[in-house]
Amino acid sequence: MHSFVHMHQPVTYIRMVAGAAFLALSAVGNADAQEREADTGHAPIRFRDITSLNFYGQANEGVLRFDDGEETSDYGIVANGNAVSRAGLSLTTDYDRGWTFFANFELGFLARPAREKTQIGSSRVDDGSDRTETRKLEASLSSPRGGRFWIGQGSMASDGSSEHDLSGTGLIASSNVSNMGGGLFRTRQGALSDVSTAAAFNNFDGLGRQFRLRYDTPTTKGVTFRVSYGTDVVNNNKGDLQDVAVSYGGNVAGRNLSAGLAYAHDKFRDAETISGSVSALDPGTGLSLTVATAFRQQDRDARYHYLKLGLQRDWFSAGRTALSIDHYSGRAIVKAGSTSRSWGIAAVQRMDNWNTDLFFGMRRYDYDDSSDAFQHGVATMLGMRIGF
């Protein structure tokens, strides 16, 4: 059951901030234990000098509120959809002549995802309070000259094509702006509509994680080509999934650069998508620029553009601070003629000794179509990610 307060009543918001502060202080109080867990998780167990076993994961939670223009909803503790809580186990075996076998099993924990919360409950049929997801169940065989062959549940070639981001704030502010959470838009008359922030904003980031066959070429001067063929066995969607992608990671004129471009065909949804992103970081000044865009042809032609400016500095001995401001503009995401706009600010503070990130984000969502006029919404999230 959600509680509502008007904007001129700050008590609930203060409680929300206090709750996040309590989470942060709890992490500080258990810093030694968390650091030991992190060290244990990142130090692989080795067998016969050629095989290593590594356990890893993260907990990523925050507190979320959403002002829809009439009332403010406090959702309490939710899962940060930009990097969900997860745990995984990987095995690596090195053979002669540079060949490597790799296997990975990873579960995601999707209790109360931020993007699915609305003023009247979850946007899914179930509440999502106890859901888990098999993110990865895959194996690969690779060599420096032969490239890498993948099989199983995992990233398609186009996955991540819209999310190359060196700003340091991708934990709370990515091109998939709806991940921070929000709710239903209200009409100008004050009634709740059936359009949610999750539906109105999309970054068309390739085909995600599916059961697939995939091949990656060897990386040459920072460039890698990928191709994959798969199907959505998790949701039992019948239809072929095919995509190709190219990515780059390296240094150009003294700037760090990460970029990707992909084409994807989803036969089940009869959709074709071209998506891409590029991010550049100047190590000297800490300034970064990130751009992402995509075009999807389905029953209508939908597209978006995303721009982010970032700054990273070592202001505190605990770790690097990252700040950013961004803007999203989309057309026909919900229906033909609809427009979706968003701007946001974000801050991420790294705590190196605890393997922890503290984050804050505020985002405004605007939506419009020919059916009615809508009020804007503002989402605020404060939380932390702890890695192990």
Q: Residue 76: phi, psi to the nearest 5? A: 75, -150
Look-up of token digits 């939506």: 367
**Given this model, what pLDDT does residue 124 score?**
60
Walk along the chain (388 residues) and give the pLDDT tens digit of each residue. Answer: 333 333 334 444 334 434 444 443 333 333 333 333 333 346 677 776 789 999 999 999 999 999 999 999 999 999 999 999 999 999 999 998 889 999 999 999 988 899 999 999 776 644 444 578 899 999 999 999 999 999 999 999 999 999 999 999 999 999 999 999 999 999 999 999 999 999 999 999 999 999 999 999 999 999 999 999 999 988 888 789 999 999 999 999 999 999 999 999 999 889 999 999 999 999 999 999 999 999 999 989 999 999 999 999 999 999 999 999 999 999 999 999 999 999 999 999 999 999 999 999 999 999 999 999 999 999 999 999 999 9
Cα separation values, 208 from 158, 243, 259, 324, 378, Å: 7, 11, 17, 26, 28
Residue 82 contacts residue 180 (beta carbons within 8 Å):
yes
Residues whose CB falls within 8 Å of the CB of residue 383, separated by 6 or more in sequence, listed in order: 20, 23, 60, 61, 62, 63, 80, 172, 358, 359
**Given this model, what pLDDT does residue 110 score?**
83
**Given this model, what pLDDT does residue 44 score?**
75
**Given this model, what pLDDT does residue 45 score?**
76
Residue 78 contacts residue 62 (beta carbons within 8 Å):
yes
**Given this model, what pLDDT does residue 387 score?**
94
In the chain, where are the structural domains located? 3-387
**Given this model, what pLDDT does residue 130 score?**
54
Residue type, 50: I
CATH number at 3-387:
2.40.160.10
Name the maximum alpha-carbon separation found in the chain: 70
**Given this model, what pLDDT does residue 188 score?**
95
